[in-house]
Amino acid sequence: MTSTSRSSTPSLQYCSKTVDDVVSELTTDLSKGLTNTADITYRRSIYGINELTHDDDENLVLKFFATFYGDPLILLLVGSAVISFVMGNIDDAISITVAVFIVVTVGFVQEYRSEKSLDALTKLVPAEAHLTRNGLTETVLASMLVPGDLVHFSVGDRVPADVRLVEAVHLAIDESNLTGELNPVHKSVEPLDENKGNSISDRASIAFMGTLVRDGHGTGIVIGTGHNTAFGQVFEMLSDIEKPKTPLQHSMDKLGKDLSLYSFVIIGIICLIGVIQGRSWLDMFQISVSLAVAAIPEGLPIIVTVTLALGVLRMAKKRAIVKRLPSVETLGSVNVICSDKTGTLTQNHMTASKLWTPSMNDNYLILDKNSTHSGELTADIRTVLEVGNICNNARFSTEKDKFVGNPTDIALVEALSQFQLEDIRGTRQRLNELPFSSTRKYMAVTSHQGDISKSEVFAKGAVERILKLSNTFINQNGTTQKLTEENRKFIIEMSNVLALDGLRILAFAKGKGSFEDGVEPSGLSFCGLMGISDPPRPSVSKSIAKLIKGGVHVIMITGDSESTAVNIAKSIGMPINDVSKSVMIGEKLDQMSEEAISEAIQFVSIFARTSPEHKVSIVKALQRRGDIVAMTGDGVNDAPALKLADIGISMGNMGTDVAKEAADMVLTDDDFSTILSAIQEGKGIFYNIQNFLTFQLSTSIAALSLIAISTFLKLPNPLNPMQILWINILMDGPPAQSLGVEPVDEEVMNRPPRSRQDKILTLALLKRCVRSALIIVFGTIFCYVREIKDNVITSRDTTMTFTCFVFFDMFNALTCRNNTKSIFSLGLENSFFNLAVGCSLLAQMAVIYVGFLQRIFQTEALSFHDILFLLCISSSVFWIDEAFKYYKRYNMQFQSSV
């Protein structure tokens, strides 16, 4: 987003103003709050109530029926159902209607659920607030607050509105549901520099509505309510953003239009030929409409839905929960993934990686959590670990059986075990603390072991700040030595060396005595440095390599510095050739138009120093180029980008409810590698859809051609109505559905993502359909003509023709399992297909040999030689298709070798 749009909330305006300026501008009082009742009523009339509401008065029934509009395939099927009913084909009319209603209902329910992200957002607004008005403090409904009100909050409270802080006592607020950052933000009443505050996370003098107080307490003046807050801005964006259609939905739209065109062409041609033959217009119209309806695979929408639903179940087993069915296939079309760094590409577990003390000169100790370093424990190293242990607020949770708290503090405590040291905080008593803040840039505590006169100061934080507090440093044997200017320069040089790998560097110091509240400690002894890292997930490198090979552009989005982001990117195998082109910082994004971003973004692999707000601009820029974008996120501010992206991916562990509701997919393990599995599944589903589409269309074309050719040649109808119905059941039933669950071929990841404009009914697929249909038609007509040599139609003649067509159908389904690989190399992995075809053949045998079914379908028993003859003829579609596949593979190998 641009800086202009971010300034629309008052938080940016007031974060740089002094408390006195805010009091004067909002005409309030620091002790009494607002005092004029009429003024309060007037303000509420101007700013509205302090709630997040959205207008959704549209009738659900009307919304349901509106989903029928604009989908050519659905409209064509509805028209087919009406025509079938009028012409007496009640079975077809009912089956088409049921299929349409199932598909439309599933889509409607999923779209309705996606709007629940707005409701999840409103749950973050607290119901009550501690308010001072007219000098009286009481608990009131938070919805009654207006700008200028004086509110109070402490540990466990949610901030009731956007407020400018006027008092902050050790105040730390968890803003993760807004920014996605895990560490609580330490707040201050001091105004920010006018050139800062562009990012929400920088506004230390502001407390935002819906955020949670983790430590301390505070008081603030309300500056924004309802939709005029940071949360309100996200709410408005969510309301305005319309989820784009998936590539599959675009493809199905095009397929509907194509089938409509083909149907009208068929009607016209058959009518014209029939009239030329001297038949009546009415007779030819009825025949043509019947054939056109028969050509439409009415089971296609429901089979697509079933295939996607089964894909959802398979992906759930791989720790990816998909909420919208079409999103499953969309994953196979994704050509850009924008991923968070923390917790997605990395393990989201800070680890102590390097340790350095002044006595080590230009060397340092590399730490390994799986190894022990007790043999390298010297007095100065022990001191560094001791300071990191005592100046630490992480606590052990017996409920979770692990340390909880600030990730950096947890890393320092966990480092003790590498040196076989214990947590010694239980043996000491803490007197006071200076908490870490963005302005102070260090933390300090005073503690003792029972004798308050022997109190000691322990401090950790930024290297420059700790050096400023120190005048000596600790040697290897534990003695102290004066800290010279040359020593200071060397320490800073070593901190830069340690930071080359993208580590966060902490400095440590200790000293005797104590410090008063509000007074900085001084005269400390510098102890050493430690590098903290969030290591990459072990499987990320392989996943990125496979994605890049498959034509997917991976982009890292992080709030970290440029150097840290580049180091992490290199460690996980992201190609960073030219940093000037591959890396873009948030400030530069603010200065660029969407068109400019779209032009530059093709070279960018890293967006550094960004806020979650920038994600919307990045998604829009990518979609402007025609990219299909997957976006990861976990905070409330990520929700608009998650909803706007073609695939919004939320984190299951760290993600907020709002992010999960706005997303299309939730990763239960927060692992980037899970996205690779999901994309592979999505690609496989698309090709499976094409496979059963090939089967259905080739069967439809064959059935249509068989009836049409018989009509043109003035032959008796080779199939009776019940036999045609049975063929339709096989065409749309288990054999077709089983093609949708064909195991995913790993080779699909080597194929590039398909474009949003690509049709699902490609020219190659259509050629294959026509080829198979011609083989089926000529084979079936050969069988039919062979049986009616005496020009008399008997039950045997129709049974032979009917069974021939069904056997052709089953062999055709076998060939459609894959469009390039031989069935002999695929084997029998698809147990659903084996069961479906086996049951279909048994059912066909029952139709031929069971007495009451013979009467229904007008069939008679066939001899063993008849069945063998039919199998030989019908298998031709299989052998010819295998020959074409072999030629295709041979040609591809020849071209690749050349």
Q: What does the DSSP 8-state code read for residue 471?
A: E
Please list the alpha-helical segments (H only) found in 296-324. Answer: 300-317
Q: What does the DSSP 8-state code read for residue 746?
A: G
Lowest pLDDT segment from 232-241, 509-518, 590-599, 867-876: 232-241
Q: Could you identify the residue written with the tokens 């927060």? A: 670
What are residue 137's phi and psi, to 5 degrees? -105, 125
- Residue that wins the pLDDT comparison between 110 and 603: 603
Section 386-409 average pLDDT: 86
Give me the catalytic one of 340, 657, 664, 732.
340
Above pLDDT 90, what percent of the chain?
Answer: 31
pLDDT at 106: 56
**Residues 177 and 156 sit within 8 Å (Cβ to Cβ):** no
Tokens of 502: 């993208």
| Spatial distance between the Cα atoms of 470 and 508, rounded to a whole number of angstroms | 10
pLDDT at 432 over 90: no
Contacts of 727 (CB under 8 A, 6+ apart): 699, 703, 719, 802, 805, 806, 809
The 3-state DSSP composition of the chain as helix, strand, coil percent (nearest 5) reads 55, 15, 30
| Spatial distance between the Cα atoms of 390 and 36, rounded to a whole number of angstroms | 51
| Spatial distance between the Cα atoms of 220 and 168, rounded to a whole number of angstroms | 9
pLDDT at 257 over 50: yes
Q: Is 388 left (phi over 0), alpha (psi -120 to 50) or beta?
A: alpha
pLDDT at 6: 39
**Residues 221 and 149 sit within 8 Å (Cβ to Cβ):** yes
Nearest to 469 by CA among 515, 416, 538: 515
pLDDT at 77: 64
3-state secondary structure of 647: strand
Q: Give the pLDDT confidence of 441-478 residue by residue, as tens digits.
A: 899 999 999 888 899 999 999 999 999 999 999 999 98
Q: Could you identify the residue written with the tokens 């031989």? A: 822
Q: Give the pLDDT confidence of 157-213 residue by residue, as tens digits.
A: 889 999 999 999 888 888 876 776 656 788 889 888 876 656 777 788 999 998 888
pLDDT at 108 over 70: no
What are residue 280's phi and psi, to 5 degrees? -75, 150
Nearest to 337 by CA among 540, 477, 568: 540
pLDDT at 354: 93
Q: Give the pLDDT confidence of 316-370 residue by residue, as tens digits.
A: 888 888 877 777 778 888 999 998 877 678 877 788 999 999 999 889 999 987 7
Burial of 162 (0-12, 13-18, 19+ CB in 10 A): buried
pLDDT at 766 over 70: yes
Q: Give the pLDDT confidence of 568-606 residue by residue, as tens digits.
A: 888 888 888 777 788 998 888 888 887 888 888 888 999
Distances (CA, A) of 786 to 775, 783, 793, 848: 16, 5, 12, 19
Q: Give the pLDDT confidence of 685-737 residue by residue, as tens digits.
A: 888 888 888 888 888 888 878 877 876 777 777 777 677 767 766 666 678 87
Concerning whether 340 is annotated as a catalytic residue, the answer is yes
Half-sphere exposure in the Cβ direction for 868 (13 Å, CA): 3
Q: Give the pLDDT confidence of 45-93 residue by residue, as tens digits.
A: 999 888 876 555 455 566 666 666 555 556 666 776 776 677 666 766 7
This prediction has a pTM of 0.65
Tokens of 456: 């000691």
Could you give the angle at the alpha carbon of 699 between the alpha carbons of 697 and 700, nearest 5°? 60
3-state secondary structure of 799: helix
Place 298 in a pLDDT band, splitting at 50, 70 and 90. Answer: low
Nearest to 779 by CA among 859, 884, 709, 697: 709
| Spatial distance between the Cα atoms of 588 and 604, rounded to a whole number of angstroms | 13
pLDDT at 117 over 50: no
Above pLDDT 70, what percent of the chain?
Answer: 81
Contacts of 361 (CB under 8 A, 6+ apart): none
Could you give the angle at the alpha carbon of 313 between the alpha carbons of 308 and 315, nearest 5°? 90
3-class secondary structure per residue, 377-426: CCHHHHHHHHHHHHCCCCEEECCCCEEECCHHHHHHHHHHHHHCCCCCHH
3-state secondary structure of 528: strand
List domains and CATH numbers for the chain: 3-50+145-238 (2.70.150.10), 262-315+681-742+760-897 (1.20.1110.10), 320-346+537-670 (3.40.50.1000), 351-533 (3.40.1110.10)
Contacts of 99 (CB under 8 A, 6+ apart): 77, 298, 299, 301, 302
| Spatial distance between the Cα atoms of 613 and 628, rounded to a whole number of angstroms | 20
Maximal C-alpha separation, the chain: 120
What are residue 294's phi and psi, to 5 degrees? -65, -30
| Spatial distance between the Cα atoms of 232 and 359, rounded to a whole number of angstroms | 54
Tokens of 243: 């989820």
Nearest to 861 by CA among 874, 876, 851, 869: 851
pLDDT mean across residues, the chain: 82
Q: Give the pLDDT confidence of 6-16 residue by residue, as tens digits.
A: 345 788 889 98
Q: What does the DSSP 8-state code read for residue 370?
A: T
Place 5 in a pLDDT band, splitting at 50, 70 and 90. Answer: very low
What are residue 432's phi and psi, to 5 degrees? -150, 170
Secondary structure (DSSP) of 538-578? TTHHHHHHHHHHTTPEEEEE-SS-HHHHHHHHHHTT---S-
